[in-house]
Structure 1
Amino acid sequence: MAENFHKPTQYSTDKFDTYEGGQDPAQIMRAAHDTAHALLEGARNSDDPAVLERIIAYTDQNGIDALAELWSRSSAGSLPGALWRIYLLRAVIQQDAVGTSLLFQRGIDTLATIDAAVTGAVNPTGPNEIKDLADQILRGLFDGDFGVALDRAASFSRILASGAGSVADDQELLNPERASELTTRADRYARMATEFTACAKLFRAGSLD
């Protein structure tokens, strides 16, 4: 059995900053949509709680690249595109819970909006709390109100964007390279927030495929 063991691919925050998936390619394989719908329907139609837990933790055993091959090139305004982005966020958080929680906490402290309330985040938000929150949002896609889960993901991303941008400002003079990295990350999170909001609107209009 040992030779069949597959170690999950580690998805670092550096890869997150530079990942170019989901750029709305002209042709998107129908398989991406079919697998996304099958996964969603399978979770919602199952009475076995273990099925949902396996779906939530799928990338822990298989690595994020397993989903990247299926969904990362899907349109941002599609079901596989939305699922891919939330799994990607969760993977980054799982692998750098300390760093991500610091950015999230800074975002809560600096962002004068209701986003923290929308996410359902506790304050302060430490590494364990942010991992739990990411799991709650992902779980909400499969056994809760899908639109609400997307709204929570959008708020979650806006908070991270604000936090990363604020820390980047602090680092501008002391560590310009680090500031540039954080600015890139802030832009990425902000874009994801916009994409999640758009997906929520499409879902409520019955147009998210």
Structure 2
Amino acid sequence: MADFRRPLLPGPQAFEGWLEAADPTAVSATGERIAHLLVRGTDERSDDALVERVLRLVDTEGLATIAELWSAAPSDTVAGCLWRLYLLHTWVHRQPDQAAREYAAGLAHTPVQNVVAGLGEAPSPEDVAALVDAVFHGLIRSDFDVALDRAAAFAHVASVGRAQLDSGDPHSAARLFDLARHLRRAAALERDGRLA
């Protein structure tokens, strides 16, 4: 009689081990596929089941587990956009007081109408967190460009605020500004149907 063992449920450690051992090309392709399914939706029943598994993984293991798949993706790809949204989301959740302070300081020095480009007033830190949550739960698909523009506007305002408040790291505001620039360019690519 064969020795039967109950299969272990994969937790984050098993997933991390797979990431370390896997071919980088396969990891990248997996990340791209998951990103496209979350943002573009599915056309096939088998993909619907995969999206459900991904959403459950986000809820049970956390977004960081999946976001790691996107970390090396270029900024002009859906996966690269999701990585940048994840970074923004993580910062706002981990340091809400700093995000609010830098955002408020940025609003005092940045003409919002130029930053938001016709989207109304710039989103607050809470708006950005809710927006990114909606993207990661597959709830924003047809307006992905608007989501990217709004996140870019927030990052732009916060980067100006960070520079005004002099965080002690002169490159920190520039990195946040670059994130905003990448998201804004990705939004334009999405509107043109050229976001990979």
* Equivalent in the alignment of 1:208: 195
Q: Per-residue displacement from partner, 1:109-137 (whole Å, max 9, x unpaired)?
A: 11124136737447xx5xxxx23432125
* Equivalent in the alignment of 1:151: 149
Which of structures 1 and 2 has the bigger CA Rg? 2
Note the aligned Cα RMSD (angstroms): 3.6
Which amino acid letter does the alignment assign opposite residue 158 of structure 2?
Answer: L
Determine the C-alpha separation between the residues in 2 that align with 1:119 and 1:184.
Answer: 29
Q: Per-residue displacement from partner, 1:85-107 (whole Å, max 9, x unpaired)?
A: 11221111111111111001111
SS at match of 2:75: coil
Query: Aligned pair count?
Result: 165
**Stretch deviating more after TM superposition (133-142 or 144-153):** 133-142
Which amino acid letter does the alignment assign opposite residue 168 of structure 2?
Answer: A
Equivalent position to 2:126, from 125, 131, 134: 131
* Equivalent in the alignment of 2:92: 93
Which amino acid letter does the alignment assign opposite residue 177 of structure 2?
Answer: A
Determine the C-alpha separation between the residues in 1 that align with 2:42 and 2:90.
Answer: 20
Residues 121, 113 of structure 1: CA spacing in aligned structure 2 closer, same or farther, 3 A cutoff? closer
Q: What TM-score do you get using the length of structure 1 for normalisation?
A: 0.64
Tell me by how many angstroms 1:143 deviates: 4.7
CA contact (8 A) 1:119 1:152 kept: no
CA contact (8 A) 1:153 1:196 kept: yes
In structure 1, stretches of 5+ residues that fail to align are: 8-24, 46-50, 169-177
Percent identity over paired residues? 27
CA contact (8 A) 1:119 1:155 kept: no
